[in-house]
Amino acid sequence: MGRIVFMVFTDIKRRLVWLHRWLALGLAPLLLLVTLTGGILAFVPVTESLAPADSTRIDSAALLRTINGADPEGKATMVMPADGGSAVTLVRDGLWQTYALEGGQLLREAPPPFDFFHTVEGLHRNLLIGAGILVEIAAWAMLAITVIGPLLAWPRFANSLMGWHRVAGWVALPLVLMLPLTGVLMTLGIGGPSLPPATGGPTTPVAALTRAADSVDLSDLTLARSFRQGRVLITTSAPATYVATATEIAPLTGGPGLVRELHEGTWAGAWSGLLNAVGAAVLFGLTATGILSWWRRRRADRARSSDQGARILIAHASHTGTAAALAHASAEALRRRGDPVACAALGAVDPAELAGYETVLLIASTTGEGELPDSGRRFLAALGTRRLDGVRYRMLALGDRRYAHFCGGAHRLDEALIAAGARPAAPMACADGDPAATWRDWLDAQFPGLELGALPAADRKLSLTLESRTLLTAENDDEVSESWHIVLTADEDLDYRPGDLLMFAPPGAAPRSYSIGSAEPRRIGLTVGLARYRDADGQEHFGLASGLLCRGLALGSRIEAALHRHEAFRAPADLARPLVMIAGGCGVAPFIGFIDERRGRADAGPSWLIFGCRKQEGDFLHRARLEADLADGTLTRLSTAFSREGERLHVQDRMRAEGRELCRWLVEDGAFVRVCGRSDLGLGVEAALADVLVDFGGRTREAARVEIEGWRQSGRLAFDLFG
């Protein structure tokens, strides 16, 4: 029963989110205009409070004589004193005509003078085109948006666009709710003045003033104007307001009414006007930030870069970002030549799409023991038993002959494509180490003379000093793997960001990549797990690279390494974006730097680390540092999972356990997600993300899969997996 209630609640919330979003987006220009003009009009009582009191008095008899002589046909729609009471102005036929009370001669005639507040009021009431119905629709929509908003999220603060959006909406809720509510009530005629019935047909300002002379002191007249349904509104400085019909003159009762006074901010003079101005500013800000947040998420969630009519597909299976950089550089070169191109990660490509392109270019790297990167593996899983007969492709393989399985990932992809019926249009090009020359030749074979422009930056060679190493795991605990914090220093400032890779190659060995977990220009922090294995004789050995870094090298030793930019995995450049970091074991390495990068930054958004290891007292890496970061607010949230003690949870179990909050970060706040750890972590995390979207976001399985894939291709979700 509880599950059914939860599912119903989730479905209702999903529908409310849809309504809240699309009412705002669909009516965005109208809502922004109405709230902006409303905010400006809120300053009317402020300016009126600053203006001197109107002491103008007018000769009533001369007034009636002049207006009846000037407007015998009754065409004037407005009558008001002018020139300190010595003249009267009639608005007629689109002109302002001013007559002297003495003699009744026409003094001047001109188009209506520009009145800023009057113009703004016209925009606010009917868009200056008589479209009052649109403004009424906007009032109803704004009321619905304002009521739904608080139902979607509690006011938990996060230093992000949507975090401020939520808190501002809750804090100012009474004020921002009052404005559209009173607007809607006014459209329904509720809370307004009591008007006499418009009997006897329409009347005019001149006729109404003539009839009112016996019962109203017109020497205090400030304005007479045409009003609703043929009535005339007469206001005086007494103050008193009257409503005239063709048959009677009656004092205006119940007006302007509390509803109107609340809406216009006139119930307490200047102070209430300023309060309404604040409310309108908050409403405008909520609308604008909601639209901006949606636009940012939409821009970030684009699945691929694709030109209209593209006949060339460039797909990449990238691990450290090199294949992706080469693919994008290739696409830009072709676009400069005028060729429309589609460029995407291989995992974002449906195998059936390949047949729709005249030219298919594939760039694949290798990871682990000759495996394809995650994006390539997902493509192979989608390929399954499908047939690709007639598809022809060219492949560039990125590798390093110092590894046992040179270009193994690309060969696996090649074999799968051939088995499905596709055929290579040329032999596979294999790049050994620096791929620049091979990449250039490979493209030139297909597109002779193509101008490639700037090549992706090559790895920078470094000479570093081993400054310190600190054991991060418990000693003498066989259930945990020995891990160290390594600090290396450079002689000059380095251009890198946390998440980039340090490539370290001991003599005679293939390079090993380590995620950089620091944010200082001359210091590189690594988290290194000591690799151990036993030979056929039972002798224990250490991995060449990890053995040197953790045990072999003396402090102060110099090492040669290379700095590899891993831009696809870096934290978003806009630090205000919420960030979820998911790590297992030494996969926490880059996130220490991600957190450091946000330290002391007032513009930094919320960050959440979900970390898994075996034992809290055994291999909770960087525990003291992370708990300090949590305490001082640098890290917003820290969740842990221990697989060998307590509840015996893995990272993906913790994600599901905190799925409601995780879903809020992902769906409502548009958080970026970074995942680092061993290869099996990637599949578990992706499955858990799908479960969270289904269980707490109201998605179907297929919709969750598509949404997660969109995150991957847009860069919101990125993996750095190893081993």
Omega before 239 within 30 of 0, i.e. cis:
yes
Residue at 689 is within a domain? yes
Statement to judge: residues 238 and 152 lie in one domain: no
Query: Where is average pLDDT lowest: 60-74, 442-456, 597-611?
Result: 442-456
- For residue range 118-170, what is the model confidence (pLDDT) as tens digits? 889 889 988 888 888 999 999 999 999 898 888 876 666 566 667 778 788 88
First to last CA, the chain: 44
What pLDDT does residue 155 have? 64
Other beta carbons within 10 angstroms of residue 416's beta carbon come to: 18
Look up the CATH number of the domain holding residue 489.
2.40.30.10
- For residue range 315-325, what is the model confidence (pLDDT) as tens digits? 998 877 788 88
Mean pLDDT of the chain: 87
Tally of structural domains, the chain = 5
**Is the four-CA dihedral 9, 15, 17, 20 of positive or negative sign?**
negative
Look up the CATH number of the domain holding residue 442.
3.40.50.360
- Confidence band, pLDDT 50/70/90 cuts, at residue 225: very high
Statement to judge: residues 430 and 368 lie in one domain: yes
Provide the token pair at 467. 């400054």
Q: What is the mean pLDDT of residues 633-643?
A: 94
What angle in degrees, to the nearest 10, is found between the helix axes of 679-697 and 2-26?
80
Statement to judge: residues 328 and 407 lie in one domain: yes
Examine the pLDDT at 669 and tell me if it is beyond 80: yes
What pLDDT does residue 619 have? 92
Q: What is the mean pLDDT of residues 60-86?
A: 93
Residue 149's Cβ-count burial label (10 Å; 0-12, 13-18, 19+) is buried
Statement to judge: residues 433 and 346 lie in one domain: yes
Statement to judge: residues 623 and 710 lie in one domain: yes
- Confidence band, pLDDT 50/70/90 cuts, at residue 54: low
Residue at 2 is within a domain? no
Residue at 111 is within a domain? no
Other beta carbons within 10 angstroms of residue 413's beta carbon come to: 26
Statement to judge: residues 186 and 329 lie in one domain: no
Q: Which of 256, 255, 242, 252 is nearest to 214 (CA)?
A: 242
**Is the four-CA dihedral 426, 427, 428, 433 of positive or negative sign?**
negative
What pLDDT does residue 16 have? 81
- CB within 8 A of 294, min separation 6: which ones? 21, 25
Segment of 59-73, 233-247, 535-549 carrying the highest mean pLDDT = 59-73
What pLDDT does residue 78 have? 95
What pLDDT does residue 5 have? 57
Dihedral angle at the C-alpha atoms of 505, 510, 514, 520, nearest 10 degrees?
30
Query: Distance between CA 67 and CA 565 in Å, rounded?
Result: 83
Query: Distance between CA 352 and CA 173 in Å, rounded?
Result: 51
Percent of the chain scored above 90 by pLDDT? 45
Query: Where is average pLDDT lowest: 14-23, 103-112, 340-349, 440-449?
Result: 14-23
Q: Which of 448, 442, 433 is nearest to 362 (CA)?
A: 442
Statement to judge: residues 403 and 540 lie in one domain: no
Examine the pLDDT at 717 and tell me if it is beyond 50: yes
- For residue range 670-691, what is the model confidence (pLDDT) as tens digits? 899 999 998 889 889 999 999 9
Tell me which of 418, 446, 474 is where a domain ends. 446
What pLDDT does residue 405 have? 78
Tell me which of 564, 588, 615 is where a domain ends. 564
Q: What is the mean pLDDT of residues 629-650?
A: 93
Residue at 491 is within a domain? yes
Residue at 109 is within a domain? no
Query: Where is average pLDDT lowest: 20-29, 141-150, 402-411?
Result: 402-411
Residue at 570 is within a domain? no
Look up the CATH number of the domain holding residue 616.
3.40.50.80
What pLDDT does residue 190 have? 81
Statement to judge: residues 518 and 558 lie in one domain: yes
Query: What distance lies between CA 514 and its chain's CA centroid?
Result: 32
Domain of residue 323, residue span = 305-446
Examine the pLDDT at 6 and tell me if it is beyond 60: no
Residue at 374 is within a domain? yes
**What are the distances in angstroms from CA 304 to CA 101, 314, 317, 356?**
75, 11, 14, 16
Residue at 107 is within a domain? no
Examine the pLDDT at 593 and tell me if it is beyond 70: yes
What pLDDT does residue 511 have? 80
Q: Are 668 and 162 in contact (CB under 8 A)?
A: yes
What pLDDT does residue 312 have? 92
Q: Order of strands across the sheet with 717-722?
A: 637-642, 607-613, 579-584, 672-678, 717-722
* Residue 251, strand partner residues: 242
Statement to judge: residues 695 and 631 lie in one domain: yes
Examine the pLDDT at 313 and tell me if it is beyond 70: yes
- For residue range 256-312, what is the model confidence (pLDDT) as tens digits? 678 888 888 888 888 888 998 998 899 998 888 888 877 765 554 444 566 778 899
Statement to judge: residues 637 and 718 lie in one domain: yes
Q: What is the mean pLDDT of residues 572-594?
A: 92
Statement to judge: residues 600 and 640 lie in one domain: yes
- CB within 8 A of 363, min separation 6: which ones? 314, 315, 316, 317, 318, 323, 326, 327, 330, 395, 396, 398, 439
Residues in the chain: 723
Statement to judge: residues 248 and 273 lie in one domain: no
Query: Where is average pLDDT lowest: 210-219, 423-432, 501-510?
Result: 501-510
